Structure 1
Amino acid sequence: MTEKNARIRPRPLLPLWLAVVLAAASGGLMRLSFPAPAVWVLVFPALALLFVALIGRRVGGALLVGLIYGVVFFALLVAWTARYLGPIPWSALSALEAMLTAIALIPIALAYRWIPRALPRARTIVLPLVVGALWTGQEIFLGSWPYGGFPWARLGMTQSESPLAPVASWTGVSGLSFVMVVCVALVIELVRDRAWRRPLRIAAPVVLIAAMLLLPQFPTAASGEMRIGAVQGNGPTGYFDERKEYAVIDAQLEATAPLVDDDLDLVVWPEGSVDYDPFQDAATARMLTRVVNRIGAPLLLDAATQRGDDIFNTSMLWTAEGTADQLHDKRHPVPFGEYVPDRAFYNAIAPDLIGLLQREYTPGANPPLMKVGDVRIGLAICFDVIYDEVLREGVAGGAQLLVFQTNNADFRGTDENLQQLAFARMRAIEAGRSVVNISTVGTSQIIRPDGSTQSSLNADEAGALRDDVALRSGLTAGILLGPWIQQLLLWGGLATLAVSGLRTRRRR
């Protein structure tokens, strides 16, 4: 057997016990790339360790390696779910995401077995591209299933403060994940090929990485400014917080008071910023109308509302006339947080926990857009910020800035808010829009279109931001082409893997 054939034989690079150790280390490093501490560069060694552990594995070994990686990564990443509800939601979410990750990593292991035998001459180039495409498919899978998915752990979201972030404005977040994975997989193949013997082959990753670092953000056009006040009331908005009647709206009103003489165009309150449905509770409606008339600007707020038998998490624009003339309902209510899917099944497993969740929110269908004067505003309520279609629908509908309303009170003292804030920053870059990210308890920020912080409020403090916020128009390539890039990578990666598998069987 020649040296070249020996190198491409689909044997594992490592014994299984060592591969499992590397998978666990990979999961730990990957967690550290997310906030906090958000050491974004750790994504790359984390991926390298995981791929080295997967190379040459059969289905069973790949499943074990992927499961260990997923358990370590998700158990650390979403530890904030145990903050108030205990270990059951945390362990259930971690285990589910780990199992789905393990299943979704099997095609990558198969690519490392099949492509070197099916396409030996093109392996160095084709294999990294297929691995990148299959990783993108893995992110799409986890982000869409079950119960609407949980796209919280996408690699591109780690890069909000890195020099690679502008790539998302050209490719979307999924495209950025793809390019990052391709870079790592390409370096691995060049090392396996002993590319240092042929220096010209090293040029490919060097050029790719240089292009990513030097790529400017996709341009959008300036279209004026809007003076906005954003209020963090720091009221008792947690699920288990003790509160008096109207305590939440009172906290918001108190923190809003300094904005009275600021000549604002819009005031923004966070998710869950009032205690009662203003369409059902006259006292709440009067308080909202009073503050709008005192400030002289409409108020964008959020409350649980009921229409017929359905309950919605609703963002609304309250006007001086004492009504909300525009509504947007949250698209993706949180499973086991805002509703219980398959309630009878889960109630039989954990009746005490499921019994706490009495309110069942209905997914919204109205556009994530509001119009204030001539300015269109794109919206995302809390975890909706991680779903691409919500962002794209708002921007494609003409949004000139983005407002993200959230309530992080159930995760005080954890990294959840910082992770969500990083996602908001990434969305600003991807869309080329300013973002007003306002939380009930912080950290709240106004973010410029380039992802930098314009102004900020610390966590667990009441206060108000007031700023002239830049408006932008035009669609970035990431918004326009992002869905097509996702589909091309998903189906292209699977098709190439299938063809490689067939060619490998024929050669056998």
Structure 2
Amino acid sequence: MVAPGARRALPLPVALTASVLAGASLDLAYPDLGWWPFAFLSVSVGLWTLVGRSLPTAFLVSGGFGAAFYLLHLSWVVTFLGPLPWLALAGLQSILFGAGGVLIALAYRLSRARGGVSELLIPVWVAGLWVLRETLMGAWPYGGFPWSRVGLTLVDSPFADTASWTGATGLSFLVVLVCASALDAALRRRWQSLVASVALLVAMYAVPLFPTESAGTLRLGWVQADGPSGYFDAKEPGDILDAHLRATEPLRGQDVDLLVWPEGSVDADPLNDWSAAARLEELVETSGTDLLLNAATTRGDETFNTSLLWTSRGAEQLYDKAHPVPFGEYVPDRWFYETLAPDLVGLIQREYTPGSTSPTMDTAGTRIGLAICFDVIYDDVIYAAAVSGAELYVLQTNNADFRGTDENLQQLAIARMRAIETGRTVANISTTGRSQIITKAGTVTSGLPENTTGARISEVALNSGTTPAVLLMPTLAPTLSAASILWFAAFPLARRLSPHSTPKDRRAS
């Protein structure tokens, strides 16, 4: 018997098929295609397949959505490490996504009271649970992988400016809230939900970019050397440094405030290798400007992925990557995984230590914020630089192992979203491409394509002031997540207090 106010679940074969198709279509909303309307369509269908479901079938259906999405979205992992890590990562993400679907299905099963404020808030609850799932997947295991938040799909949409107020997390919440409200209107023929969905879209369209203040400009010289920077590229020691020195030649003697090289631009430890240090000192002296570079550095028994600001006095400021990539830059629980895939794990010989230094540096009278490659997906790195007064972000990355894949484009979309969130120019400088200069509105003003050697000078805007998105970064996701969990306990009380609930409803709760 169907509970009052509930809707029958779609037949399992229909729901599973629809969920898989919805998951696959969500990948279309991300680069390289970037068809952002598919995010709304995909989320709406994915939620529909969970309405009225039992919890075991909800896990199956939502897991099918996750598998279809992550197998497509993360297919670039195959290029670097092969099919086993790809299947392992996509499989883990799918399981976690399926578990989140169980919570959403449970919320729908509990929403049985007819009318009342409590039932009108179900879309809010569902959107909060979606954020809870994204938050947990972005934090666990091994530091999480917050690569695919649904809010990131809107970077090319008319709603992108909203991110300066809500951040990517808030955009995820709003996208799902729009979809859940529209679904509620369609299934229950409730005009209030339809009005709420349309009103949200109008508000997201109308909100302007948060106005951070101008703090001047900086002449940035940046280099994409397109050297042998891939893990498996044929090279001799010093080849990568040679490639960057050659690519920088056109900038020597130019009016530049700061030179920037990408991640992995020096294939020696300049803190311990006198030859590499001497070549960097010569470049800085003849160029008359500081150089921001990146290399693997060793201090004591620990190795770090380090950005160094090289001046005429050497490396006076360092930033160590806060979030080394598990199974890419280190192997967690190596003893365990070596028993499963010794040859594969053996390829990853270097063990990077997470850094604890501030992701900021001061040069040419400017404070710059930093993030090294996948660091860009973690809010804590971006937030730490913003609250420390960063006026510009420089993101150094090495995409050489993912040439010709969507990884590069997906990361660039995240970088563009970071520009909008922080109200800062972002310089995303890559070893092999694509390198881009991104305005605070998320638009690209200069760039180099993949597999291209080039050096550019860009006069970039500096900005001050803190956006609401930055202020919300540490608190919004935990608040929405905690409220969604607490609502499971509060929902029975809300039903009892609802003026539309019957005595029978109250006893059933």
Secondary structure of 2:112's partner? helix
Q: Which amino acid aligns with 2:404?
A: G
Distance 1:505 1:266, change over 3 A: farther
Aligned equivalent of 2:355: 364
Aligned equivalent of 2:131: 136
Aligned equivalent of 1:377: 368
- Note the alpha carbon deviations across 1:321-348, whole angstroms, 9 max, x for none: 3x10000000000000000000011000
From 163, 169, 180, the equivalent of 1:185 is: 180
Aligned equivalent of 2:112: 116
Distance 1:202 1:340, change over 3 A: closer
CA deviation after TM superposition for structure 1 residue 202, in Å: 3.6
> Could you tell me how far apart the structure 2 residues matched to 1:395 and 1:74 are?
31
From 422, 427, 444, the equivalent of 1:436 is: 427
> Could you tell me how far apart the structure 2 residues matched to 1:247 and 1:276 are?
10
From 427, 445, 453, the equivalent of 2:444 is: 453
> Could you tell me how far apart the structure 2 residues matched to 1:506 and 1:154 are?
40
Contact (CA 8 Å) 1:10, 1:114: kept in 2 or not? no
CA deviation after TM superposition for structure 1 residue 435, in Å: 0.3
- Note the alpha carbon deviations across 1:165-189, whole angstroms, 9 max, x for none: 1111111110111011000000111
Contact (CA 8 Å) 1:10, 1:113: kept in 2 or not? no
From 489, 492, 497, the equivalent of 1:498 is: 489
1:30 corresponds to 2:18: no
Contact (CA 8 Å) 1:457, 1:465: kept in 2 or not? no
Aligned equivalent of 1:302: 294
CA deviation after TM superposition for structure 1 residue 204, in Å: 2.4
> Could you tell me how far apart the structure 1 residues matched to 2:328 and 2:401 are?
10
> Could you tell me how far apart the structure 1 residues matched to 2:137 and 2:82 are?
24
> Could you tell me how far apart the structure 1 residues matched to 2:445 and 2:253 are?
21
* Backbone CA RMSD of aligned residues: 1.6
1:9 corresponds to 2:11: no
> Could you tell me how far apart the structure 1 residues matched to 2:16 and 2:60 are?
7
Secondary structure of 1:359's partner? coil
From 210, 215, 227, the equivalent of 1:235 is: 227
- Note the alpha carbon deviations across 1:123-172, whole angstroms, 9 max, x for none: 55301100111101111000000000000010111111111111111111
TM normalised by structure 1 equals: 0.96
> Could you tell me how far apart the structure 1 residues matched to 2:396 and 2:277 are?
20
> Could you tell me how far apart the structure 2 residues matched to 1:373 and 1:506 are?
70
1:164 corresponds to 2:159: yes
Contact (CA 8 Å) 2:164, 2:209: kept in 1 or not? yes
Q: After the TM superposition, which residues 13-412 of structure 1 pair with which residues of structure 2 at under 5 Å, given as runs?
A: 14-117=10-113, 120-122=115-117, 125-195=120-190, 202-321=194-313, 323-412=314-403
Distance 1:17 1:201, change over 3 A: closer
CA deviation after TM superposition for structure 1 residue 203, in Å: 2.8
- Note the alpha carbon deviations across 1:60-100, whole angstroms, 9 max, x for none: 01110111111110000010000032101101100011011
Contact (CA 8 Å) 1:124, 1:186: kept in 2 or not? no
> Could you tell me how far apart the structure 1 residues matched to 2:455 and 2:348 are?
32
- Note the alpha carbon deviations across 1:466-491, whole angstroms, 9 max, x for none: 11100000000000123222222111
> Could you tell me how far apart the structure 2 residues matched to 1:318 and 1:351 are?
39
Q: How high is the sequence identity, in percent, across the aligned residues?
A: 48
Contact (CA 8 Å) 1:10, 1:112: kept in 2 or not? no
CA deviation after TM superposition for structure 1 residue 9, in Å: 2.5
> Could you tell me how far apart the structure 1 residues matched to 2:340 and 2:132 are?
32
> Could you tell me how far apart the structure 1 residues matched to 2:161 and 2:421 are?
7
CA deviation after TM superposition for structure 1 residue 208, in Å: 1.4
- Structure 1: 5+ residue runs without aligned partners? none
> Could you tell me how far apart the structure 1 residues matched to 2:379 and 2:78 are?
27
Q: Which amino acid aligns with 1:293?
A: E
TM normalised by structure 2 equals: 0.95
Q: Which amino acid aligns with 2:233?
A: D
Distance 1:505 1:251, change over 3 A: farther
Secondary structure of 2:401's partner? helix
Aligned equivalent of 1:468: 459
Q: Which amino acid aligns with 2:405?
A: T
Aligned equivalent of 2:502: none
Secondary structure of 2:216's partner? strand
Secondary structure of 1:270's partner? coil
> Could you tell me how far apart the structure 2 residues matched to 1:189 and 1:123 are?
13
Secondary structure of 2:124's partner? helix
> Could you tell me how far apart the structure 2 residues matched to 1:125 and 1:8 are?
12
- How many residue pairs get matched? 499
CA deviation after TM superposition for structure 1 residue 290, in Å: 1.0
Aligned equivalent of 2:499: none
Contact (CA 8 Å) 2:213, 2:464: kept in 1 or not? yes
Show structure 1 runs of 4+ deviating over 4 A.
Answer: 501-506
Secondary structure of 1:160's partner? helix
Contact (CA 8 Å) 1:436, 1:446: kept in 2 or not? yes
> Could you tell me how far apart the structure 2 residues matched to 1:392 and 1:201 are?
34
Contact (CA 8 Å) 1:31, 1:76: kept in 2 or not? yes
Contact (CA 8 Å) 1:172, 1:482: kept in 2 or not? yes
- Structure 2: 5+ residue runs without aligned partners? 496-504
Distance 1:491 1:201, change over 3 A: closer
CA deviation after TM superposition for structure 1 residue 104, in Å: 1.6
